[in-house]
Amino acid sequence: MTKRKTFLLAVAIPLFILLAMTIKPQATLLFGQEIVLETKAYDPTDLFRGDYVAINFAIADVPKSKVTLSPDKIYNKNLYVSLKQEGKYYVVDQVSETKPKQGVYLKGRFQEIFNEFRGTETYRVDYSLDKYFLEQGSGMDLEQESIKGGLVGTVKVLSGYGVLTGIEPR
């Protein structure tokens, strides 16, 4: 192989890898189903990255009654959380080890089990939808709206993969 071909190959492979990483998020934005999720916000600024709202979705706390698997099978594992629409928002319907064949679902990682102050045991799930970056100077406004009554998040979902596309006051 000539030096020129080796150089072109050395440049093309990293570029191809970077482009491939954008396919799933872009396909989700173009073809995904849009759902609305209830959120709670906190910590509106980051010194290095600007304004953002770190959010906690209501579906991140899954009641024990929705999980039929034993705790040792779900801790720190990827599982599928089926969602159903109740009014304006989507809520947790059920949890499964296998990918659902139909309906709206998100792939999530179960992180921990905790007891809420009301005595209900709940599983914490991470969907990797926890930060939304904003126009500079608007993070504090959303934090104030969150304190007044919360925010809603708009998420595009395709085959269990979600992309947070916006947040706004209820």
The pLDDT value recorded for residue 83 is 96
For residue 2, is it within any domain? no
7 within domain boundaries: no
Residue 8 belongs to a domain: no
List the chain pLDDT tens, one digit each, 170 residues: 788 999 999 999 999 999 999 998 899 989 999 999 887 655 555 555 566 666 778 898 888 888 887 767 777 788 999 999 999 999 999 998 899 999 999 999 988 776 655 567 788 888 988 777 777 766 677 766 766 657 888 999 999 999 999 888 77
**Cα(74)–Cα(93) distance, integer angstroms:** 16
Give the pLDDT confidence score for residue 148 in this predicted structure. 61
- Residue 17 Rama label (left phi>0; alpha psi -120 to 50; beta): alpha
Cα–Cα distance for residue pair 152/131, rounded to 1 Å: 13
The answer to whether residue 91 is domain-embedded is yes
Q: What predicted TM-score, i.e. pTM, was given to this entire model?
A: 0.78
Residue 142 in domain: yes
Q: What is the pLDDT of residue 88?
A: 92
Q: Could you tell me the residue range of the domain that residue 32 belongs to?
A: 25-169
Looking at the domain assignment, is residue 102 inside a domain?
yes
Residue 69 belongs to a domain: yes
Residue 74 maps to a domain = yes
pLDDT number for residue 159:
92
Domain count, the chain: 1
